[in-house]
Copies of this chain bind each other. A is one copy, B any other.
Amino acid sequence: MEKVFQQILYGGDYNPNQWPKEIWTEDMHFFRDAHINSVTINVFSWAKIQPAEDTYNFDELDEIIEMLSRENYNIVLATSTAAVPAWMVKKYPEVMRTDYEGRHHKFGQRHNACPNSLVYQKFARRMAEKLAERYGSNKHVVCWHVNNEYGGECFCENCEKAFRVWLKQKYKTLEALNQAWNLEFWGHTIYDWDEIVLPNALSEELGPNKTAFAGISIDYRRFNSDSILENFKMERDAIRRFDANTPITTNLMGTYKNLDYFKWAKEMDIVSWDNYPAYNTPWSLVAMSHDLMRGLKGRPFMLMEQTPSQQNWQPYNSLKKPGQMRAQSYQTLAHGADTIQFFQLRRSVGGCEKFHGAVIEHVGTKNTRVFREVAQLGKELAALGDQFLGAENPAQVGIIFDWDNYWALEYTSGPSQDLKYVDQIHQYYSYFYKRNIPVDIIPVDADFSRYKAVVAPVLYMVKDGMQEALETYVKNGGTLVTGFMSGLVDQSDNIHLGGYPGPLRKMAGIWVEEIDALAPEQTNTLKFTDGTTSTCNLLCDIIHLEGATSLADYTSNFYADSPAVTKHEFGRGNAFYVGTQLPEEALAKVLDQVVNAAHVSPVIDEATELEVTCRTIGQRRYYFIINLTDRTLPLPKEFEGKTDLLSGNLLSAAEHLSPYDVLLVREE
């Protein structure tokens, strides 16, 4: 792939505006020493740049950009529209959001603008224009960073009106709307577009995942994601009027629920994201998030933010241990990042993020563990140069991730309140991760033919066209894995009538007659064809074979002896169906068969607890070998005799990796 940047961007958020100028000079020295080559600026400066409705003042920003240009930094220039100025709220209260409870907010917080406020839109667009006009031709500006961590939702009257317009465009007629939302149920029939109200705590909802009409609530989420996306597009287009080429991004947030990032990525030049795992987040979930971010466009991404040491907003903000930040950074690169950026470069003196780590700590010296680790990594990245920028992450397995499904699954009233979308996807991802089998996280409309196996857990909503796409894929030799809570509803959250799993029934060769829900204290049991047994929980599909064969039968409850896991040869391929939630070992037993059937191969054959990932440019392969456990682990034989690009060491059979050790091996 084409390189977006000329080097690995290394740096992060920088807010000189919060500091006196004598500090700026100091910063420049510190950054050099840390091999920092990139800074992200102007993220929250709206109030400073535009102190009043008709007044713009770019003096300070000019000075900052001049300094950075002079020092030859790559500038990631933000548009500052993620927090509205106080004067704007006072003059135009409508720019603030109305929350889920129906309360219109006063000035405060950030990410606080109503996306459908014409006032906000006008001012945000104008700001983007002015910035692009002024700085768009500066060659040091290598990336535009629109707004910041878009998200949230608004339930104000402007949004309500915009929702009606959005619905009119989508459904054209009230008949279509009434049918899509099944409004005959509970006599909610709408006779006039103006009767439609936003679904929140004052209307159809009773909490974030409780709604009387999932059809309405899902459409609201689509609308809200689209509304905010329009804000992004508006700024993007404003920038493009003055800057035709510089890539434009906004920083995403992994599996963040509110925005349909697959739809967003289509509008972005490059995906960037902020990686903030908690102290107990499994590494596999971090890896999955990276793969999702890479999957959004199927291209390398930017790591826009990570902390060099600790966060502040988690319940418990543990320090990253020595080497952890480095290892985590290489994990990020391994999964497709072309930049490593921190929030932030200098730790703020006040406000709610003052306990968030930074490259330059409050002590203000270079004599800190954190600074030394940042500088060491900077040195290594500088030495690596641009050699793997744009490299690909080839994968034989695709796992489907879909925001419509995310929303719909978690809205279901029944059969169990414990269905969490990301957790369900992660259970499958984790199997492949532990075996160093690369995975692409893909959308529902992906080109499945690129994968030996496609995994679609809780594919609850099967939209138009997807049955055909999946059937074609399997018929042509593909291997599909799906399971409980799949195939149940269409894009409007109405049931696919005629027997579960609806459009997947034929391909899976089964009929699910009933779905039993188990409370947390309950389990069922099952037995595999090889005689081994396991527990299972959460949900139990009661399955009838219609061409499939059973891989495991229940051995308890009234549906003992009926199939729990099935496999169906369909055309030249196979469809696996996992009808209940399996513990890790039992799920592995099923997925081992999937991997065998699909001839999926890991990055290296040897089993290891090391994370081994591969990025490729043409025939050149970069192996990232990382120890993310807390134990010392031996080097896989495959890498004996190779050279570690980072240390220059020749790797012997005796080589062991301590916790957080990283090796980078290049093969041609």
Residues on A facing B (Cβ under 8 Å):
15, 17-18, 44-48, 51-52, 80, 83, 85-87, 89-90, 101-110, 181-192, 194-197, 199, 201-206, 211-215, 279-280, 309-319, 321-322, 347-356, 361-365, 368-370, 412-418, 489, 492-495, 497-500, 511, 513-520, 557-558
Contacts and interface: CB of A to CB of B under 8 A. Distances in A.
A187 B46 CA distance: 6
Give the 4 A-B CB pairs with smallest separation, nearest first. A182-B350, A312-B414, A108-B203, A355-B414
Contacts of A201: 103
A51 B191 contact: yes
Contact of A101 (B103, B213, B315, B515): B103
A121 B499 CA distance: 43
Given A182-B351, A188-B86, A413 B312 contact: yes
Given A350-B181, A417-B316, A187 B44 contact: yes
Given A187-B48, A316-B416, A415-B317, A90 B354 contact: no
A212 B352 contact: yes
A213 B86 CA distance: 14
A18 B185 CA distance: 7
Given A101-B101, A185-B350, 9 more contacts: A47-B183, A51-B189, A106-B202, A107-B195, A212-B352, A315-B416, A321-B558, A350-B493, A362-B495
Secondary structure at chain A's binding surface: helix, strand, loop or mixed? Answer: loop
A280 B519 contact: yes
Contacts of A212: 108-110, 351-352
Given A87-B192, A186-B83, A103 B202 contact: yes
A536 to B, nearest CB: 14
A102 B202 CA distance: 11
A109 B212 CA distance: 6
Nearest to A89: B195
B514 A279 contact: no
A311 B322 CA distance: 52
Give the oligomeric copy count: 3
A85 B558 CA distance: 43
A518 B192 CA distance: 56
Contact of A192 (B90, B494, B511): B90
B495 A354 contact: yes
A518 B318 CA distance: 6
Nearest to A368: B513
B195 A90 contact: yes
A47 B353 contact: no
Contact of A86 (B191, B214, B279, B515): B191
Contacts of A518: 316, 318
10 contacts: A51-B191, A83-B188, A86-B195, A107-B188, A109-B203, A110-B187, A310-B516, A313-B413, A322-B558, A363-B513
Contacts of A192: 87, 90
A42 to B, nearest CB: 10
B494 A350 contact: yes
B412 A355 contact: yes
Contacts of A280: 519
Given A186-B44, A187-B83, A517-B316, A349 B102 contact: no
B352 A413 contact: yes
B362 A499 contact: yes
A191 B495 CA distance: 55
Most chain-B CB neighbours within 10 Å: which of A317, A412, A500? A317
Given A108-B202, A495-B362, A195 B348 contact: no
A471 to B, nearest CB: 20
A380 B460 CA distance: 39
Contacts of A557: 321
Among A44, A47, A489, residue most surrounded by chain B Cβ atoms (within 10 Å): A47
Given A105-B202, A514-B309, A189 B85 contact: yes
Contacts of A48: 184, 187, 189
Contacts of A353: 185, 413
Contacts of A188: 47, 83, 86, 107
A107 B213 CA distance: 12
Contacts of A185: 15, 18, 44, 348, 350-351, 353
Contacts of A196: 86
Contacts of A190: 86
Given A188-B83, A519-B280, A18 B315 contact: no
Contacts of A181: 350
A664 to B, nearest CB: 24
B184 A18 contact: yes
Contacts of A514: 309-310, 319, 361, 368-370
Contacts of A517: 279, 310, 316-319
B106 A187 contact: no
A350 B105 contact: no
A182 B352 CA distance: 10
A109 B213 CA distance: 9
A51 to B, nearest CB: 6
A203 B107 contact: yes
A352 B86 contact: no
B102 A317 contact: no
- Most B C-beta atoms less than 10 A away, residue of A185, A211, A500, A519: A185
Contacts of A183: 47
Contacts of A369: 513-514
Nearest to A512: B363
A106 B189 contact: no
A256 to B, nearest CB: 18
Given A417-B315, A518-B316, A52 B191 contact: yes
Contacts of A319: 514-517
A132 to B, nearest CB: 19
A612 B202 CA distance: 48
Contacts of A314: 414
A313 B46 CA distance: 46
A418 B321 CA distance: 22
A353 B18 CA distance: 53
Given A185-B350, A363-B513, A203 B106 contact: yes
A407 to B, nearest CB: 14
